[in-house]
Chains A and B, each alone.
Chain A
Amino acid sequence: MPLLEAMGISKVFGKLTALDGAALTVGEREFHGLIGPNGSGKSTLMKCLAGALEPTQGKVTFINTDITSFTPPERARAGMSLKFQITAVLPTLTLYDNILLALQARSSLLDLAFSRSRRRLHEEVMTMLLQFRLADRAFDAAATLSHGQQQWLEIAMALACRPRLLLLDEPTGGMSLEERRVTGELLQPTKQHCSLVIVEHDLDFIRDICDRLTVLDQGKVLASGTVAEIQANRSVQEIYLRRA
């Protein structure tokens, strides 16, 4: 049984059909890349998976549960997490508090009001910050970080709630080569407990990190398979050549 299964997902905005029966299957601890030309519907599919958009048609199953009509908080509680395309760290809060905010999301309100999980989570927050090489900035406001560091902070926040599935929308957008390399390194260890769906323009990055790829074109799945299979696929080569 796959971890995530999206079937026949369509999304229509007025006259525009952004997704037309797209499908995606992600297994346990699988890094799955979602690629395709601009406007092919990658981000829309991500949003449908995350619950930011409701698909016009189709069904999303996650850990054997139909989550198609789940709200974002319900999906998060089911074990799904995401990093937005636009960085959405909380700029005035410290890095520490950004992570703590993500970690404590499932504490009860009473626990929050009496700060009962503060001490317990302290270690987890610092571990997360150390892992993402941000610990020495722990008590600075998130707004003071560089763009790349903000992306890392966001990935750390998304991972903090120990998701079974992490949706990453352009994790390396606007990063330098070196920062991209580090991002790949930072993501590797999450494979032990978490699957990934990544939308990304940097094909080298995708190739290095992903196990399987799904290629979208004009809202439909063009091909899906292992990285090697996709690389050998004629029609995939064509749309990328066409674009180039």
Chain B
Amino acid sequence: MLSTGTGIQPPPRAIDAAASTVMASAFAGRKRVLPILEVALLIAASIAPLVLKDYITVYATRVLILCLFALSFDLVWGYAGILSLGQSLFFGMAGYGVALLSRDFGVGSIFAVLPAGTLIGLVAALLLAGFLLLGRHPSSVVFVSLGTMTGAYAADRLARGSHYLGGQNGIPSIQPMTIGSHELSEGPGFYYLVLAILVLIYLLSRFLLRSQFGLALAGLRENEQRIAFFGYKVQHLKAIIFAISGAIAGTAGSLYAFHEGFVWTNMLGVVMSTQVVLYVLFGGSGTLIGAVIGTAIIEGLSFWLSDNYRDIWPIILGGLLLLVIMFRPLGLISLVLGERERVGHFGPSLKETRNAAP
């Protein structure tokens, strides 16, 4: 029934019928793991401060901020296939930026510093994209990864040498962030603020990545040259997702600066960039939730291990990371998530096409 003769345009009704039949059988019995995972994690994260001790809630807040940071890397690497090894550049620059706003101008309102940090990340990423991604010819993965890494390394070095930026010591004792007249210091309040921002950005990212724009990104990741021949402006696509990712890293960086109360050169450097790569690879790239899970588990484990195995904990953690990367190259998430659901599909849903059919 589905194979009609060539050249004969099947009537629309037949198309809809054919589509519905194929879709119905393709999607029948397909269990969806992602939404369950997302909701479960959201519930767990929402009640965490109620059951955790205060000092752990403070730690958990930091982990959530790092989750946001990891999300930004998953966007460029997991979805668009751009290996940015300098993600900390945007994180750190935003952190330093808001720290300076607070130190030199006394600006601490959340409505000023978060947009400022986001903007710093966005602009820095656009500038770097201008150098690394926008050329007449698409640049290689190695060029981009080394370029971004060099950027982070250089920023780290420059900050260390700069008296204005506090040199090795960074910028200490940043005043707390304020909402109106309320001062936001570490604890459950800060935790829920970060959680809300994380959920919001997560949902926005998910919306974008599942749109037709997300399909274009998937094409970019799978075969950049091929989609250029369809007429996609590949470099523009890259610059856009890179800038969005930079903006998210910037948001994370500014939250981090106010949460920790100080910024230092490590925030800008290669160590931080590498860490975020590990979070995402460990959890599983290209799923968003994998980045969150990876960050939470690595940070949770290092917290627990460093308490209980004071001397050898980095070795244990390193071994675990190696095991996952060797046996689960798609990350922990691949234990529960199938390939088909991970990649997803971008056409209209079954419901949409059924509604469209007369």
Contact = CB atoms under 8 A, between A and B. Distances in A.
Interface of A: 50, 52, 71-73, 75-77, 81-82, 84, 88, 90-94, 96-97, 100-102, 104-107, 109, 111-119, 122-123, 125-127, 130-131, 133, 135-136, 138-141, 157, 161, 185-186, 188-189
B126 interface: no
| Most chain A C-beta atoms within 10 Å of own C-beta, residue among B215, B240, B340, B347 | B347
A76 B230 contact: yes
Contacts of A138: 19, 22-23, 26
Given A73-B231, A92-B343, A126-B15, A104 B216 contact: yes
Contacts of B222: 90-93
B136 to A, nearest CB: 7
Contacts, number: 157
A119 B352 contact: yes
Given A72-B225, A92-B339, A126-B15, 8 more contacts: A73-B234, A90-B222, A104-B216, A122-B348, A123-B12, A157-B230, A161-B231, A188-B7
In the complex, the 9 A-B pairs of residues with the closest C-beta atoms, listed nearest first:
A76-B231, A189-B7, A139-B26, A105-B230, A112-B213, A105-B231, A90-B222, A112-B212, A115-B211
B55 interface: no
5 contacts: A73-B229, A96-B347, A118-B346, A123-B16, A139-B345
Given A130-B2, A139-B22, A189-B6, A125 B347 contact: yes
Nearest to A124: B15
A138 B20 CA distance: 11
Contact of A130 (B4, B136, B212, B236): B4
Contacts of A101: 215-216, 218-219, 227, 230
Given A130-B2, A186-B6, A118 B26 contact: no
Nearest to A116: B212
B211 A114 contact: yes
A84 B240 contact: no
Interface residues on B, range: 35 or more
B71 to A, nearest CB: 18
A46 to B, nearest CB: 12
Contact of B215 (A104, A111, A122, A126): A104
Contacts of B22: 135-136, 138-139
B18 A109 contact: no
Contacts of B308: none
A94 B345 contact: yes
A86 B75 CA distance: 29
